[in-house]
Structures are given as C-alpha cells and as structure tokens.
C-alpha cells in the first residue's frame, strides 16, 4: 500500500522542492499538503491540500489531527523552523509518525548564539560572537572584536538571513538594531555581533537514526538568491550552488551533530563559512528540516536523501555501503518564478552557441 505523507508549509518553495525530491525517489507516495495561507497553498504540488489555522493558534493541533485521521497519514514532515518546533511539541499527541530530533536539540539549534557558545565550548570552530543585550552595549562588544574590520550583525533566531547585515562601525550596528526593534518589533537583546566570515560558503546535509550517521551530502553556495535586494548582500538561499564533498568538513559537521545530540535522529543541515584564513566555521545547524535546495542533493548519485529519510522514519531497513557519495560535477540554478534547474557541468552549454568572441 502506498505510504501517505503530510507536508507542512505546502506551496512554499522549500516544500515544493521537497515534494519533487520525494516523488523522484518514491513514485508511489501519496502527498498531502497543508498551509495557513490560501494563496501560498494554491501553489502546492501535493496531491491533496488543506487550509489550516496558523501554527501559532490554539486550534491548529485539532486541525492537524483532523487531517491526519481523514487522510490516514503515515508520516508528517515539517519543513520550516516554526513547523519543526510545532510538530516536535505536538508529536506525542499526533496519530502518525514523526522523525525529528529531540525537543532540547531543536531549541538549542534555533538559538544561534546558544548553539555557537555550545559548539565553541566543545572545541568546534565557530565565529567569535557576542550578544548585544542593549544598544548601549554595542561599543563594548566592538572593542572585544576590534581586530576584525568587518562584523556580522544578526538576530539570534530565524532563518533566511533575516535581520543580518555586515557593519563596520558602532553607529551602523546601533542604527540597524534600533530599526529592527522599533519598526519590526524584534525584542531587545535579540542581536549578536560576530567576526565577518568572507570565504567559501557550504551546506552539509545529513540523515541520522538513533545516533548513527546514515548519509551525508553537501553543496557550496556560489551566488545568492535576491542578494542584490538584501542589505546583507548574501542569503541562506543559493541562486547557484554546486555539489561538492570535502571529507574534513563532513567529519566536522558529524562531530557537531553528535555533540548536540548523541542519539540524533532525523535530518540536520549545517551551514559553514570560511574565515579570512580559510578555516571553515559553523554558523548554524538546522535540526529537523531539509535544506531548501534539497533537489540538488537528490539529482546526483545513487541515494535520494528524502526517500531514505522516509524509509528511516517508517522503520524500513536502510543499509548503505557508506554514509557519503562522491559529489559529481552537478549544479542547481534558481530564480523567482522559475523551477530550479539541476544539471551536470558537461551539459551547461548544451544547445548554446557562444558568440562572445
């Protein structure tokens, strides 16, 4: 019998990418989607869709259980930071399977400063980072980071580089923090300042089952989606990304996941950037959800990460020969109002006549 999955945030770019990957790996899946925004939900690639209350509302758990029962859902898959937290909190009361890290792990990973301190205390490479408890503390923090000419100012929580910007002076940092506090209602004490990491930018995605590393894939962000419209000039979403595999970075990420959760289960993706000396530093770990370019991880090699995730979640045996794959010379290109395009380097100019000379 076909397995039935419920995908949260259906219709969003990350969830549609996830559904494409799932269908490429397991053709028989029945995919049900839900979202609180009917306009976003209209774009969903799921077989059936449900409009729900927002996850923050008290009637959301009832609506979620109603969908699970009506559709005989086998597995629920959250695919945003907020969805992961919500499903984790509700998991014991849901009439279907979940496949998530523990709630303590999720809480730690969703506080970027707490995570940075934790990893640093375990000897893992992280950027030098300090909290900004109040705007008046900016100068004091800048003095502690005085050997760095460029600093990274960002909010401790959230995704998509929201509230992040490079700064050179205390005046710039103060103005940025005040703007977000006064205009965007960000609570005081939400920001950090850290050394700016100027080097290569990597994402390492891995699957785990009860502390066992099952599979690792990674990509490098070569350019950023909508970077020109962003004050930071960067984004967690790549416009162009390339599959790579650097064993020492993969080992570092596995060590980090084991440090935060020795019995890790589910999916984790680790973001890293190189500092001025070329040393990769962990900037965040996203626990319980796939990277939003999951398609690139599943378009190359023998193993489809989303399909293996489902098999692990449902208790099916998964025995891969090794927990990594050669990267393959594969790229993904993304843009607004366009499907992601995944291709191998040899095909980049297929059907193209070069008249630049």
d(CA 219, CA 333): 12
Lookup: tokens for 242: 């390339």
Quick one: the chain helix, strand, coil %, rounded to 5? 30, 25, 40
Over 90: is that where the pLDDT of 238 sits? no
Among the CATH numbers 3.30.465.10, 3.40.50.10490, 3.30.470.20, 3.30.1490.20, which is that of 128-195? Answer: 3.30.1490.20
What is the C-alpha to C-alpha distance for residues 225 and 219, in angstroms, rounded to an integer?
15
Name the token pair of 196: 């700016």
* Orientation angle between helical segments 112-121 and 247-260, nearest 10 degrees: 100
Contact 100, 88 (CB under 8 A): yes
Adjacent-strand bridge partners of 30: 4
pLDDT (mean) for 170-190:
95
In this structure, the strands spanning 330-333 and 280-287 are unpaired
End-to-end CA distance of the chain: 58
- d(Cα 74, Cα 186) in Å, to the nearest integer? 38
Closest CA to 4 of 50, 83, 71: 71
Confidence check: pLDDT of 228 > 70 = no
Q: With CA atoms as reference, report the closest residue to 195 among 231, 154, 156, 236.
A: 154
Q: Is the pLDDT of residue 43 over 80?
A: yes
Annotated domain spans of the chain = 4-98, 128-195, 201-347
Mean pLDDT of 63-80: 97
Q: What is the CATH number of domain 4-98?
A: 3.40.50.20
Q: 297: pLDDT confidence band, cut at 50, 70 and 90? A: confident
Residue 90 confidence (pLDDT) above 80: yes
Among 27-36, 56-65, 244-253, 328-337, where is mean pLDDT lowest? Answer: 328-337
Q: What is the pLDDT of residues 331-357, one digit of tens each?
A: 988 888 888 888 888 888 888 999 988
Reduced to 3 states, what is the DSSP secondary structure of residue 66?
helix
Gap between the Cα atoms of 16 and 206, Å rounded: 20
14's CB contacts (< 8 A; 6+ apart) are: 79, 80, 289, 290, 292, 294
What's the mean pLDDT when you consider all of the chain?
A: 92
**Nearest-5° Cα angle at 156, 179 to 13:** 90
Comparing 100-104, 187-191, 338-342, which segment has the lowest mean pLDDT? Answer: 338-342
Q: Examine the pLDDT at 197 and tell me if it is beyond 90.
A: yes
Q: What is the pTM of this model?
A: 0.92
Query: Which one is the CATH code of 201-347: 3.30.470.20, 3.40.640.10, 3.40.50.1860, 3.40.1160.10?
Result: 3.30.470.20
- Range of 71-85, 156-170, 317-331, 343-357 with top mean pLDDT: 71-85
C-alpha to C-alpha distances, 38 to 12, 49, 54, nearest whole angstrom: 11, 10, 11
Averaged over 257-284, what is the pLDDT?
Answer: 96
Residue 319 binned pLDDT confidence (cut-offs 50, 70, 90): confident
Asked if residue 219 lies in contact with residue 243, where contact means CB atoms within 8 angstroms, the answer is yes
């Amino acid at each position: 019998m076909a397995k039935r999955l419920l995908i949260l945030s259906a219709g969003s770019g990350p969830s549609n990418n996830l559904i494409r990957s799932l269908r490429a790996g397991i053709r028989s899946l029945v995919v049900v989607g839900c979202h609180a925004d009917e306009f976003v939900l209209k774009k969903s690639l799921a077989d059936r869709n449900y409009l729900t209350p927002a996850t923050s509302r008290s009637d959301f758990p009832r609506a979620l259980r109603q969908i699970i029962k009506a559709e005989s859902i086998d597995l629920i898959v959250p695919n945003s930071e907020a969805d992961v937290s919500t499903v984790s909190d509700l998991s014991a009361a849901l009439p279907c399977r979940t496949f998530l890290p523990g709630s303590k792990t999720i809480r730690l990973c969703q506080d970027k400063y707490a995570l940075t301190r934790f990893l640093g205390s375990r000897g893992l490479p992280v950027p030098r980072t300090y909290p900004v408890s109040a705007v008046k503390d900016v100068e004091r923090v800048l003095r502690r980071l005085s050997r760095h000419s460029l600093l990274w100012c960002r909010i401790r929580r959230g995704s998509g580089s929201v509230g992040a910007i490079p700064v050179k002076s205390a005046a710039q940092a103060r103005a940025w923090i005040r703007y977000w506090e006064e205009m965007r209602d960000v609570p005081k004490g939400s920001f950090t300042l850290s050394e700016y990491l100027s080097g290569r930018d990597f994402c390492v995605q891995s699957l785990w089952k009860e502390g066992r590393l099952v599979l690792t894939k990674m990509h490098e962000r070569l350019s950023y989606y909508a970077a020109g419209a962003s004050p930071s000039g960067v984004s967690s979403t790549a416009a162009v990304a390339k599959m790579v595999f650097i064993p020492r970075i993969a080992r570092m990420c596995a060590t980090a996941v084991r440090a935060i959760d020795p019995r890790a289960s589910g999916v984790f993706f680790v973001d890293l950037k190189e500092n001025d000396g070329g040393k990769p530093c962990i900037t965040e770990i996203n626990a319980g959800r796939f990277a939003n370019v999951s398609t690139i991880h599943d378009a190359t090699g023998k193993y489809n990460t989303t399909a293996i995730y489902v098999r692990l979640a449902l208790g099916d045996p998964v025995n891969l020969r090794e927990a990594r794959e050669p990267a393959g010379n594969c790229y993904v290109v993304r843009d607004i109002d366009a499907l992601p395009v995944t291709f191998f380097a040899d095909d980049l100019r297929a059907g193209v006549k070069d008249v630049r000379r």
